[in-house]
Structure 1
Amino acid sequence: MANNDDAPRKTGRVMWLLVWVLALALLTWFFQQKLERDYHPNQQLQLLDSRTIVLEQNRQGHYLINGDINGEPVVFLLDTGATQVAVPRPVAEQLALPVGRTLLLNTAAGQVTGYRTHIKTLSLGPLTLYDLDAIIMPSHNSEVLLGMNALRQFELTQRGSQLTIKYLAP
Structure 2
Amino acid sequence: MSTDQIMQLTYLVLLAAAIGGAAIVAGRGNMGKMAQQAAIWVLIFVGIIGAYGLWEDISNDVNPRQAIIDDSTVAAPRGNDGHYHLTLDINGAAIDFVVDTGASQVVLSQQDAARIGIDPASLNFSGMANTANGVVRTAPVMLERVVLGGITDRNIPAVVNGGAMDASLLGMTYLGLYDRIEIADGQLVLSR
Alignment of 1:67-106 (within 5 A): 67-97=88-118, 99-106=123-130
Q: Which of 163, 166, 170 matches 2:188?
A: 163
- Count of residues in correspondence between the two structures: 131
What is residue 62 of structure 1 aligned with on the other side? 83
Over residues 26-78 of structure 1, what are the superposed CA-to-partner deviations in whole Å (9 max), with x where a residue is unaligned?
xxxxxxxx9x8667511xx4232211111110122211112211111111211
Divergent runs of 4+, >6 A: none
Which structure shows the bigger proportion of residues in strand conformation?
1
For 1:60, the aligned partner's letter is D
Alignment of 1:126-165 (within 5 A): 126-137=150-161, 138-141=163-166, 143-154=167-178, 155-165=180-190
Which structure shows the bigger proportion of residues in helix conformation?
2
Name structure 1 gaps, 5 residues minimum. Answer: 1-33
Once the two structures are aligned, what percentage of the paired residues are identical?
27
Q: TM-score, normalised by structure 2?
A: 0.62
Over residues 97-145 of structure 1, what are the superposed CA-to-partner deviations in whole Å (9 max), with x where a residue is unaligned?
262451121111101112111111111121112111111012242x321
- CA–CA separation in structure 2 for the residues paired with 1:39 and 1:153: 30
Residues 72 and 164 of structure 1: CA distance in aligned 2, closer, same or farther (over 3 Å) = same
Q: Give the aligned CA root-mean-square deviation in angstroms.
A: 2.3
Q: Which of 64, 78, 90 matches 1:41?
A: 64
For 1:150, the aligned partner's letter is Y
- CA–CA separation in structure 2 for the residues paired with 1:38 and 1:60: 13
Matched position secondary structure for 2:79: coil
**Contact 2:108/2:158 (8 A) holds in 1:** yes
- CA–CA separation in structure 2 for the residues paired with 1:101 and 1:139: 14
For 2:64, the aligned partner's letter is P
Name structure 2 gaps, 5 residues minimum. Answer: 1-56
Q: Which of 25, 48, 51 matches 2:72?
A: 51
For 1:159, the aligned partner's letter is A
- CA–CA separation in structure 2 for the residues paired with 1:146 and 1:61: 15
- CA–CA separation in structure 2 for the residues paired with 1:130 and 1:119: 7
Q: TM-score, normalised by structure 1?
A: 0.69
